[in-house]
Structure 1
Amino acid sequence: MTDSSGIPGGSDAAGGERRPPRDRRRRLLRWIGLGLTLLVLVGAATGWWLYNKLDGNITEDTSAAAELERYERERPAHLATGAQNILLIGSDSRSGRGNAGYGEDKGTQRSDTTILLHLPQDRRSATAVSIPRDLMTEIPSCLQPDGSRTATSFAQFNWAFEWGGAACTIRTVEKLTGIRIDHHMVIDFSGFKRMVDAVGGVEVCLKEPVDDVQAKVKLPPGLQTLRGEQALGFVRARHSLGNGSDTERMERQQQFLGSLVKKVQSNGVLLNPTRLYPLLDAATSSLTTDPGLASLRNMYELVRGVRGIPTDRITFLTVPRRPYAPNPNRDELVEPDAERLFRQLREDRPVTVTPPEETSSAAVRTPGAASPTPSATTTDAVPEGNSAGEGTSTPSAPIPTFTGTTAGNTGCR
């Protein structure tokens, strides 16, 4: 029998669909399964490699841990369970890759920036307190790199880092504030620049043009996006911006850090692998930390606890201080305001801030002299019911208010 085309077998042979043999189908499924397995293995291997690379980037500061253990008995006790105090130190070291361009490496380093970061137990806010590098304070006997020990002395704060590194700085801060430091991080110039570049730059608002040859930064006024080198110059410049005081320099640092926090919290970084991995790589390879933070897992736990804090609850301020009477180019604490701030942090109580008053950058001042930080004020707290649950209310203690800003208040206004 033939069809209309004369082909034997009729229409089934000419136009009917042939199903592939069962063994061919099985082979195809096996190849697909093998391919998927290989993809999973490659993905897992890549993830494992990236994790170990980032984990291995972090430098563990075992020497500081040993020195702090030696003086454990004289360190402050933990007063607030669950709260954490982290000391952030920006080193002006000229050693290491990318740092030689900022001066001769003399084998020493000082803390160019020191910030005490307080994270309360509920992790619903964060308070960053700048400690002036020129603050006169007592520095305890510290172990030096050559194995000798310094004598207890009264000197400017940033000498502590040069004499005894992070351990000496931590002990100095604890003696100054009575606050137990749980962790510390140290970052140098090169690491700072890499982190800024990794997030694609950071926006800041300039009220006037910047032209600082020493800091290697020249910018017009208005909203500017600063990259690594410009950002470093912006936060380090002192004598050519504003009135040249360390007060204004710290305010610029706080403004910049607030903008950096907003950028990192944005979806453009956290949800973008091409931005997130360079940031993690730059951050981990630039940090020297205590053993408690010297792993990617511990770093992640820290970041996870604070990444959801609203920017208007991330507070920046400077310890209350004024020019040091014997030498106006140095600072001293303003009491009892400084102790009130330290007590709030020790006891994990809220710290509120108000923006600083506008000052003229052309104000007459002694070169290098610090401007006084306005004194703290108090705000009456909202009355709360008493512990017996009765209808009467018992007023709470007034909440001190300090001069400062928040991460949500850093743009052009």
Structure 2
Amino acid sequence: MNAKKIARITTKSLIAVVSLAVLAVTAGGWWTYRTATTNLATDDVIVPETPDAPQASTGDSPTPVRKPPQDTTILLVGLDSRTDAQGNPLPRNVLDALQAGNSTGEQNTDTMMVIHVPADPTKKAFAISLPRDSYVDIAGGFGKHKLNSAYARAKNAAAGQGEKESTTAGRRNLIATINQLTGLHIDHYAEINLFGFSEITNAVGGVPVCLNNPVKDSYSGANFPAGPQTLQGIDALKFVRQRHGLTNGDLDRVRRQQAFLAGLANRMFSAGTLTDPSRISDLVSALTKAVVLDKGWDLMSFAQQLGDLTGDKIQFTTIPTGRINLATPSDGSAVEVNPNQVRAFVQNLLDPPAAPPVQRQPDADAAGKIIVNQERVQRIANVEPINAGAIPCVD
């Protein structure tokens, strides 16, 4: 597989993180790749499954969905952290630009996305967004809370073990929580912090996005006109962080993040980012400041595993949710989630059911009254999944 093909499939799958693997196979890229991976922050967060103790099995939860080992499932996390990848506090001027408050802010996970790459080249890869306010069972015996607190709760509980150890505990608990919610087994972990996200968008020369309507939000600082535009740096971060002023709050923000990743993939490929030495240098610098990967992830092998995967075979979607204003005992308003529905949804993505026959005319009863298929109506009412080969307009 040549370098151009590797670049295409990689940038349309895991964007900036896996672009490190691209560097390993592009002309003159090996030295840069080795330098980057040597300086990249890693953590031992993937706990191997055992026959007696699968990661995702808790309480009365069903046995988790498991695909063959060659399938790869990655948890991509955007951390609302006021530190860099090495744990150093961000400078005051950076925090002010990010409108991120104090450097001692909580390390909640703002963005969580599970990316599943199948071994079978005939099947589509998918990226499932997990809204941060989803009200779920938190692993580790912490009870039912918002999903974005799984990391911080375990980290705080292990604070006496030291900063490094407690951070590892937080990441492992988030992984375990998502394992049990989705029924998937997380094979790899990639985490990016606030400042690093903005730096990566600078490195690629900005990301194309499109808004259906103009927005102005004092909380995130988002202030953008309607229509297509290119964002980078702090503005890009404001775009993906906004949730106030959006009709569906966190769910609309998830949609924004999916569209942004599709735009980032498009930018990196169409603009020749991975064939531009200066862009590569800037990207590697941003990655080493911002990204944490699980220890032992062989990015080179992963790039080769992607085979013939292309952008039109990658689908962005969101777990099924209920009420977006669910009242909770201690966490305020949350997003309602049914774990059984989530696992069934994931199973359908792994093994899509056969398409039903197309009905040319609506069904009717004996009196000629049209019978409404409520499930179909609901599917039509929901937003369509975002395809990685396009840059959709979003709210």
Q: State if a TM-score over 0.5 links the two structures.
A: yes
Cα distance change on mapping 1:71 and 1:138 into 2, 3 Å: farther
Cα distance change on mapping 1:279 and 1:304 into 2, 3 Å: farther
Q: Contact 2:142–2:153 (CA<8 Å) still a contact in 1?
A: no
Cα distance change on mapping 1:203 and 1:267 into 2, 3 Å: closer
State which structure, 1 or 2, has the greater radius of gyration over its C-alpha atoms. 1
Cα deviation per residue 1:241-285 (whole Å; 9 max; x = unaligned)? x31511111111111111111122235212222222322332243
Tell me by how many angstroms 1:412 deviates: 5.2
Alignment counterpart, residue 239 of structure 1, candidates 235, 244, 250: 244
Q: Could you tell me the TM-score, scaled by structure 1's length?
A: 0.66
Q: Contact 1:114–1:132 (CA<8 Å) still a contact in 2?
A: yes
Q: Alpha carbon RMSD of aligned pairs, Å?
A: 3.1
Letter paired with 1:341: F
Cα distance change on mapping 1:276 and 1:334 into 2, 3 Å: same
Alignment counterpart, residue 175 of structure 1, candidates 171, 180, 201: 180
Tell me by how many angstroms 1:341 deviates: 1.7
Identical pairs, percent: 32
Cα deviation per residue 1:328-369 (whole Å; 9 max; x = unaligned)? 831222576423222235xx4349xxxxxxxxxxxxxxxxxx
SS in 1 for 2:335: strand
Tell me the residue number matched to 1:74.
54
Tell me by how many angstroms 1:49 deviates: 5.7
Work out whether 1:215 is the aligned partner of 2:220.
yes
SS in 1 for 2:68: coil
Work out whether 1:100 is the aligned partner of 2:91.
no
Tell me the residue number matched to 1:196.
201
Q: Could you tell me the TM-score, scaled by structure 2's length?
A: 0.69
Tell me the residue number matched to 2:346.
342
Tell me how far apart the structure 1 counterparts of residues 178 and 79 of structure 2 sit (CA, whole Å): 16
Work out whether 1:163 is the aligned partner of 2:143.
no
Could you list the runs of 5+ residues in structure 2 that have no partner in the other structure?
1-27, 57-63, 85-89, 155-169, 359-378
Cα distance change on mapping 1:188 and 1:292 into 2, 3 Å: same
Letter paired with 1:138: D
Letter paired with 1:128: A
Tell me how far apart the structure 2 counterparts of residues 133 and 235 of structure 1 sit (CA, whole Å): 13
Work out whether 1:53 is the aligned partner of 2:58.
no
SS in 2 for 1:322: coil
For residues 284-323 of structure 1, the aligned pairs below 5 Å read: 284-293=288-297, 298-306=298-306, 309-323=309-323
Alignment counterpart, residue 266 of structure 1, candidates 270, 280, 289: 270
Tell me how far apart the structure 2 counterparts of residues 321 and 246 of structure 1 sit (CA, whole Å): 11
Cα deviation per residue 1:350-394 (whole Å; 9 max; x = unaligned)? 49xxxxxxxxxxxxxxxxxxxxxxxxxx83289xxxxxxxxxxxx
Tell me by how many angstroms 1:303 deviates: 3.8
Q: Please identify, of 282-291 and 199-208, the stretch whose mean Cα deviation from structure 2 is larger.
A: 282-291
Tell me how far apart the structure 2 counterparts of residues 336 and 138 of structure 1 sit (CA, whole Å): 12
Tell me the residue number matched to 1:91.
79
Tell me the residue number matched to 2:129.
130
Tell me how far apart the structure 2 counterparts of residues 114 and 335 of structure 1 sit (CA, whole Å): 16
Letter paired with 2:180: K
Tell me the residue number matched to 1:7.
none
**Number of equivalences:** 307
Tell me by how many angstroms 1:79 deviates: 2.7
Tell me by how many angstroms 1:404 deviates: 1.7
Tell me the residue number matched to 1:330.
334
Q: Contact 1:262–1:311 (CA<8 Å) still a contact in 2?
A: no
Could you list the runs of 5+ residues in structure 1 that have no partner in the other structure?
1-45, 142-150, 352-377, 383-400
For residues 7-26 of structure 1, the aligned pairs below 5 Å read: none
Cα deviation per residue 1:62-114 (whole Å; 9 max; x = unaligned)? 3x34x667998231474323111000110001123356331112363010000
Tell me how far apart the structure 1 counterparts of residues 314 and 281 of structure 2 sit (CA, whole Å): 24
Tell me how far apart the structure 1 counterparts of residues 35 and 201 of structure 2 sit (CA, whole Å): 20
Letter paired with 1:95: T
Tell me the residue number matched to 2:143.
153
Q: Contact 1:54–1:285 (CA<8 Å) still a contact in 2?
A: no
Tell me by how many angstroms 1:130 deviates: 0.5
SS in 2 for 1:380: coil
SS in 2 for 1:278: helix
Q: Which has the higher contact order (CA 8 A, sep 6+)?
A: 2
Tell me how far apart the structure 2 counterparts of residues 325 and 75 of structure 1 sit (CA, whole Å): 28
Q: Which has the higher strand share?
A: 1
Q: Contact 1:95–1:107 (CA<8 Å) still a contact in 2?
A: no
Q: Please identify, of 298-307 and 245-254, the stretch whose mean Cα deviation from structure 2 is larger.
A: 298-307
Tell me by how many angstroms 1:48 deviates: 7.1
